[in-house]
Structure 1
């Protein structure tokens, strides 16, 4: 990877919370996307939990304190997941085209289940995932990553969010679900649309995606295979078709949006942070350390884990009304914990994966996929630089996922083919002898050297 110094900014991000007529801070809009920490600091004035607005007309409570978060996450008899208890939605006070409904409205899946039903569905999911052959999964993720890199590598430029981070988890989840290869483009379009659209268009695409899932279930009833859908279908829990579709919708949704944010945030860290880029290039730090840093500093799901109090509850002296969505700010509580003495790298005390009965059931697989995605990209194209100043990156708007909207990079366009050949003979990892020469080395000659001189000159001009 190139020295990121021309693009590194040591200035803290600016911004302030956008506050309406009440104390409820807005978790949407460009100011919140740019600097959510300012909003979290403002909310802490009100105690461990404070009123927020997730989208226009959508009120909620946000937990910003670590101990209070654990109290919510680990108290299933007080705080439940069943979104049918959302009082404002039941009374028609939530705009029907609100962009948060796709993530928060009740569905027949374990995410919105409690008690015995939750245990039954979660056990079926976890035991079906346990049937995955990890070696085969690693090979499939690697092949999928290579296919995407082969697509943009010859161009010498890419948007790593659009062309890589957003597509790789989707392809993996679609394959694990058992969709026929002929469905891949159709399902990719439908799922990507659900993630990126809002209002009536999101509802239409969601219905279209659900239709594909029901088709898949019907197909697997006739012809089961070695895939998650067939294993869920055969599980002793006896899932109905609606429950199967609900779990598949959840697995694909939870396996894509948070995962693409995770991969994108790690790649951004390596491109803009002197500590990590320099240590990676020198071989003194690995991808696992970068994953830990992101989970502490920019967890992919910044605010989620929606719960509903069964009755009015006080958290740290603050009233949490029954029937009001109560979200955990994974970003805020992790930031609070990171202020304490101790080493972040290798420390898994953060709440990026949640906690309690609804903690992410596939966090090990999610971490493995992200690690392979990052390692494979950097093995194939190590000489890469951000194409804009870090301050020019825009963050995805909305209350839930935290990641850049785009991550434009450029690199020597002939490297992809060289790396594809060298990968057969060189072990993966940083510092390979077959990696492109640095710009001041003797191999910076000929046509490739000419391109690299222009490449570094462009970096210098843009960073000036």
Structure 2
């Protein structure tokens, strides 16, 4: 039997504030103790294997037959109130399907995204960024999570999906409840209802948008399937996008290596984005699979139907592959690899770069409003997300909006 089975019962919790405060220390300790495959708990009583070795992760991500993404056998034994169930449960979408169904959903989503005009997207981000910055530029302070990154990601996504304002408002209310953990059940209901409204609206009011292209795809998705595609696009397009923007701004504000050249220097912004995607990717632990039978991998037995979670953050910092400089290096796993790799990575990258550049171009003397040690990270096994990013800057007059 392999190393993990010798340590039954010793599982590292990934849901605590202590883990959120310093996950990289935990990853190092897990790698030193267990090698590439470590026993963890995603929530109390929810065991999983965390993959902290880069090469092992790539093997798993490219082997969907032994490591499929369909969680139905696993979730049959999970209580309905399990806090990680909403993130992990089966849904008729590409993220939680395998085989033919995965291919069907992925093809529809990829076609929907492929029609996005990237130049037009850049102009959309610029317009929304200026509008948001205008709302706080005269005050000299802001929380870049609440006042900038979240509403920017949300409004850009609504534009891409062709979502009318009133439906977007209901989706925002649902997301706020889920996001803040207050009334998450009601939030889920509000969000699902809003996605259903959007799908029905786009059947009768088609447009040049992602929703219309998915609806018209030969896969022929039904209303329930559309609700889940749209909810997945909202989930992937807001939380990780927001975290990528915020984590990159934090790096630029804290790290002297970027210095003044960060202010509007797109090369430095790209360097910072790449560094964040290595060290603090917005989804730090994800790409979950559920082996249908016990698997022997790297001399470790992985149990049937128990989640295997790829730690993109840990794998990216694995000493076996981390050789130092990574300017222009895109070998990180932040977007996943293999059949479940993120189909929107180039869009997310473009949105984040434009959002960061606009903020640092428009505002002068941006600085953290509190010591970095006082910033707090939201607990949770999957994301790398600040609760707030308070900044001060020189007050300025609003810019003209187009």
| Contact 1:337 1:350 (C-alpha < 8 Å) held by counterparts | no
Residue 4 of structure 2 corresponds to none
Cα distance in 2, alignment partners of residues 273 and 338 from structure 1: 25
User: By how many angstroms is 1:172 displaced?
Assistant: 1.2
| Contact 1:171 1:188 (C-alpha < 8 Å) held by counterparts | no
Q: Residues 282, 213 of structure 1: CA spacing in aligned structure 2 closer, same or farther, 3 A cutoff?
A: closer
Residue 169 of structure 1 corresponds to 153
Q: How do 1:101-116 and structure 2 match up within 5 A?
A: 101-116=85-100
| Contact 1:306 1:327 (C-alpha < 8 Å) held by counterparts | yes
User: Could you report, residue by residue, the CA deviation over 1:286-322 in whole angstroms, capped at 9, with x for unpaired residues?
Assistant: 2111111111111111101110112111221111101
Residue 346 of structure 2 corresponds to 364
User: Could you report, residue by residue, the CA deviation over 1:53-111 in whole angstroms, capped at 9, with x for unpaired residues?
Assistant: 1112221111001111011100011000111121xx312xx343332122111111111
User: By how many angstroms is 1:213 displaced?
Assistant: 0.9
Pick the aligned partner of 1:132 from 105, 113, 116: 116
Q: Residues 243, 258 of structure 1: CA spacing in aligned structure 2 closer, same or farther, 3 A cutoff?
A: same
User: By how many angstroms is 1:115 displaced?
Assistant: 1.3
**Would you say 1:37 and 2:16 are equivalent positions?**
no
| Contact 1:124 1:232 (C-alpha < 8 Å) held by counterparts | yes
**Would you say 1:307 and 2:289 are equivalent positions?**
yes
Let me know the Cα RMSD of the aligned residues. 2.0
Cα distance in 1, alignment partners of residues 237 and 332 from structure 2: 20
Cα distance in 2, alignment partners of residues 124 and 49 from structure 1: 34
Q: With the length of structure 1 as denominator, give the TM-score of the two structures.
A: 0.81
Pick the aligned partner of 1:324 from 283, 288, 306: 306
Local SS of the residue matching 2:359: helix
How many residue pairs end up in the alignment?
Answer: 395
**Would you say 1:145 and 2:129 are equivalent positions?**
yes
Cα distance in 1, alignment partners of residues 111 and 311 from structure 2: 29
User: Could you report, residue by residue, the CA deviation over 1:221-246 in whole angstroms, capped at 9, with x for unpaired residues?
Assistant: 22212221111111111111121111
User: Could you report, residue by residue, the CA deviation over 1:263-285 in whole angstroms, capped at 9, with x for unpaired residues?
Assistant: 01000001111112344259595
Q: How do 1:432-443 and structure 2 match up within 5 A?
A: none
Residue 169 of structure 2 corresponds to 185
Local SS of the residue matching 2:64: coil
| Contact 1:302 1:331 (C-alpha < 8 Å) held by counterparts | yes
Residue 81 of structure 1 corresponds to 69
- Which range moves more in the overlay, 187-196 or 221-230? 187-196
User: Could you report, residue by residue, the CA deviation over 1:377-430 in whole angstroms, capped at 9, with x for unpaired residues?
Assistant: 1111132110000111111111111022110001122x243xx26x99xxxxxx
Residue 265 of structure 1 corresponds to 247
User: By how many angstroms is 1:168 displaced?
Assistant: 1.0
Structure 2 unmatched ranges of 5 or more = 1-6
User: Could you report, residue by residue, the CA deviation over 1:209-228 in whole angstroms, capped at 9, with x for unpaired residues?
Assistant: 10111111112222212221
| Contact 2:174 2:189 (C-alpha < 8 Å) held by counterparts | no
User: Could you report, residue by residue, the CA deviation over 1:183-212 in whole angstroms, capped at 9, with x for unpaired residues?
Assistant: 3332222223223326xx212211111011
Residue 212 of structure 1 corresponds to 194
User: By how many angstroms is 1:143 displaced?
Assistant: 1.1
Bigger Rg, which one:
1
Q: Residues 339, 133 of structure 1: CA spacing in aligned structure 2 closer, same or farther, 3 A cutoff?
A: closer
Residue 3 of structure 2 corresponds to none
Cα distance in 2, alignment partners of residues 345 and 208 from structure 1: 43
Cα distance in 2, alignment partners of residues 61 and 331 from structure 1: 15
Q: With the length of structure 2 as denominator, give the TM-score of the two structures.
A: 0.93
| Contact 2:244 2:276 (C-alpha < 8 Å) held by counterparts | yes
| Contact 2:285 2:313 (C-alpha < 8 Å) held by counterparts | yes
